[in-house]
Structure 1
Amino acid sequence: MKSDFVFSPLYPLPSSFNALKNIPKQLYYTGNPNLLEAHFKIAIIGTRRPSPYTKNFTFALAKKISQNQGIVVSGGALGVDIIAQNAALPNTIMVSPTSLDMIYPVSNAAVISQIAQQGLILSEYEKNYPPKNYSFIQRNRLVIALSDLVIIPHADLNSGSMQSAKIAIECNKPIFVLPQRLDESKGTNFLLQNALAQAIYDIDVFVGQIFGKQEKNNDEFLRFCANMPTFEEAYLMYGDLVLEYELEGKIVRENGFLKVVL
C-alpha cells in the first residue's frame, strides 16, 4: 500500500548504531525526530499471535511507559508490536521494513498513519522498497540498537523475536520478558531458563524501578552516555568525569563503548 508520507534523510545517524556490525548507510524519517533525543527508549517486540493475556499486558505496559515519558520502539508488525505502539502514542518510534512511501502491513495502516503524524517512523530504504525476507531482521537490528532495554512479552522458539533477542545480547541490551505458561511462549521461557532475560511480575513495580533509576541518574553526562559513545569521544568532552563515573559503577566500558548501568 502506497503512503502519502512526506519523508526526509536523517542527519546524523543515532550514535547508538555504533554498536552494530552493519551500520545503515542512511536513514529516512517521517514524523517527529526529536523523539530520538528522549532520555529512555524501550523496545517492545513479540509474536504476531499474542494471547489475550499477552495483549492486555503489552497494552498496559506500553501505556505506563509512555505516561512516564519513555519512548516505545517497535517494528509496526501485527500483534505485540502494533499493540504496544498504539498504546504508547505519541511516544513511539517505528522502524519500517519498507521504504516510507509504502505502508506495511496494510492491516495496521490506521495506527501506522497515526505514528507518522504523532510519533516517528524510520527506514533505511529510500523509495520503492517492498518488504523482503531479510528486511525484517534488518529492521529489528535497528529497533534493538535504538533502545536502552528490550521487552519480549511472548515469542516462539524459532521466531524473528528470538533473532532480535540474539541481537540484544550481542549489543549488551538488557532483556525482560513476561512470565508465561510452559507451552505458550517457548522462546521467552528459554531466555528465562538460561538467565538471558529477567521476568516482569508487576508492571507498576517494573516501571517504578526503571524510571526511578532514570530520574536518579538524570544528568547531562549520563544522557550523553545513553547513546553509547566511544570512551575517546566521552573523555574528549568530559575528561576525568568519565573515570569517576566508571569507578562509581554508573557506567561501564564494553568493546570500547560506554554504557549506562541500569
Structure 2
Amino acid sequence: MRAVDCDADEIAAWLRLLETPQVGRESARRLLTAFGSPQAVLAASEARRKEVIGAVAARALSQAGDGHDALLRLTLEWLAKTDGPQRHLVALGDPDYPAALLETADPPLLLYAIGRVELLRGESLAIVGSRNPTPQGRENAQAFAAELGRAGLTIVSGLALGIDGAAHTGALENAASTVAVVGTGLDRAYPKSHLALARRIADEGLIVSEYSLGTPPLAENFPQRNRIIAGLSRGTLVVEAALQSGSLITARLAVEAGREVFAIPGSIHSPQSKGCHALIKQGAKLVEAARDILEELRWPGLDDAVANTKTTTPSAEHPIVEAMGYDPISLDELVNRTGWSAAELNVRLLELELDGVVARLPGQCFQRIGQG
C-alpha cells in the first residue's frame, strides 16, 4: 500500500487487528486465515470470531480502542508525506511482501517501510554483532558489507550501534544497498546517534519495522525484530559477539528458518570473540573473507564478483605492527616486545593511528586494523 493508492478503511482495519492489546500476532494470523482480510475479520460477528480466538479477544475487536483514531490519522499523514523517501505499508499478501519471510514460522503481518521497497525482494545477507566491537571488528563488518554488496547482496542489519552501523555504512557503497530492521516506529530515531545514518539509509536503502508509528524503543521489541533480520536473509554473518549477545538470538533464528550462519573467528582472549567461537563449535561456517560466504551460497558469477574485492589482511610492514600481533596489546607489553621506550612508542603509535593502521583502545591498549 503506497501513499498514492492507500485505502483508509483497509489501513484502519489493519490497525484495529494488530493494535488491539488482547489480540497477539498468532491470533491475528488465525483470524486472517479464517476470514481472509482485516476488513472481513471486523465484519464477522463476535460469535464467529470467538470460535477462532476465544471470547476475550473476539470481544476486544468489537470496538476500536481509545487511541485508534489518533493512530489512524498519524499513519495516513505519514503515508501522505511527499518530501523525502517514499513511505509504504507492506501487508502480508502484497506484491512487495518479501517471499523469504513467508518461509519463516512467524512472519510479520504488516511492515512499515521508508525508502526503496524493492530491496525487500532482492537477495540479501544479514550482518550482525556487538554494540561495543573492537576496532578490527568494526573494520571487518564494514569491509565484508562492502565486498558482499559489490557482489550484489543487499545487507540487512538492525541499525544498532557498533557492528550494525558499520555494516550499513559499508553496504551503502553499492547499488544493492542495505535494509535496516528497527524495533521502534519509523517516526522515531533510535539510537539518536544514528539519526544521520538512518536518514541516509532511507534515501539510498530501506528502513522497515513491524511496529506502529509512535512505538518507543522498548527492550522486548528488539529480540522480536531479530526474527525479521534473520528471515529476510539467505544467511547471517556474526562478526563479533559476546556469549550473551543478542546477535546469537539472530543466529539461532536463522538456523530455525533454515538459513546459513557464518562467523568470523577472533582472538581467544577477547570476550567479543566468544560468541562467534561458540557458533563455530555448533556448526556455523568459519569465514575469513567474503569469498567464503559467496562460495557457501553458490553465488552466480563468483569469480567476477570477488575479482576486485579488498583484502582485510592487516599491514605487517612496520616493526611495531609486527610486534603487536593480532590481539589488543598494552603499551607496557609493547615496550617489552620491542625494547623501545614508552615515549618513542607513543610517537610511532600516534603516526600509525593517524594512518589508520592502529586503533587506540581504552586503558592504554592498541590494536592493529586490517587494511584494504
Same fold (TM over 0.5): yes
Quick one: which amino acid aligns to residue 8 of structure 1? H
Aligned 8 A contact 2:113 2:209 in 1 = yes
In 2, distance between residues paired with 1:201 and 1:70?
18
1:57 is matched with which residue?
Answer: 140
In 1, distance between residues paired with 2:146 and 2:179?
14
Give 1:18 shift. Answer: 2.6
Q: Does 1:192 align with 2:275?
A: no
Give 1:69 shift. Answer: 1.8
Moved more, 180-189 or 137-146: 180-189
The CA RMSD over aligned residues, in Å, is 2.0
Q: Does 1:114 align with 2:185?
A: no
The normalised TM-score by structure 1 is: 0.75
Give 1:209 shift. Answer: 2.3
Q: Does 1:28 align with 2:115?
A: no
Give 1:117 shift. Answer: 0.6
Quick one: which amino acid aligns to residue 9 of structure 1? L
In 1, distance between residues paired with 2:258 and 2:288?
22
Per-residue displacement from partner, 1:16-70 (whole Å, max 9, x unpaired)? 22333332221110000111222x2000001001111111111111011111221
Unpaired runs of 5+ residues, structure 2, are: 1-77, 79-83, 303-372
Q: Equivalences for 1:67-146 in 2 at 5 Å?
A: 67-89=150-172, 91-146=177-232
Kindly name which structure, 1 or 2, has the bigger radius of gyration based on alpha carbons. Answer: 2
- The alignment partner of 1:48 has SS state of coil
In 1, distance between residues paired with 2:159 and 2:256?
23
Per-residue displacement from partner, 1:82-114 (whole Å, max 9, x unpaired)? 100011015100111101111111011111110
In 2, distance between residues paired with 1:176 and 1:169?
11
Q: Does 1:7 align with 2:95?
A: no
Q: Which has the higher contact order (CA 8 A, sep 6+)?
A: 1
Give 1:216 shift. Answer: 6.1
1:177 is matched with which residue?
Answer: 263
Q: Does 1:214 align with 2:299?
A: yes
The normalised TM-score by structure 2 is: 0.54
Q: Equivalences for 1:41-56 in 2 at 5 Å?
A: 41-56=124-139
- For this pair of structures, how many residues does the alignment match? 211
Give 1:6 shift. Answer: 5.6
1:201 is matched with which residue?
Answer: 288
In 1, distance between residues paired with 2:157 and 2:234?
13
Give 1:207 shift. Answer: 5.4
Give 1:125 shift. Answer: 1.4
Q: 1:208 to 1:19 in 2, by over 3 A?
A: closer
Quick one: which amino acid aligns to residue 191 of structure 2? P
Q: 1:152 to 1:82 in 2, by over 3 A?
A: same
Give 1:194 shift. Answer: 2.4
Runs of 4+ in 1 over 2 A off after TM superposition: 3-8, 18-23, 205-211
Aligned 8 A contact 1:5 1:100 in 2 = no
Aligned 8 A contact 1:99 1:129 in 2 = yes
- The alignment partner of 1:133 has SS state of coil
Aligned 8 A contact 2:242 2:274 in 1 = yes
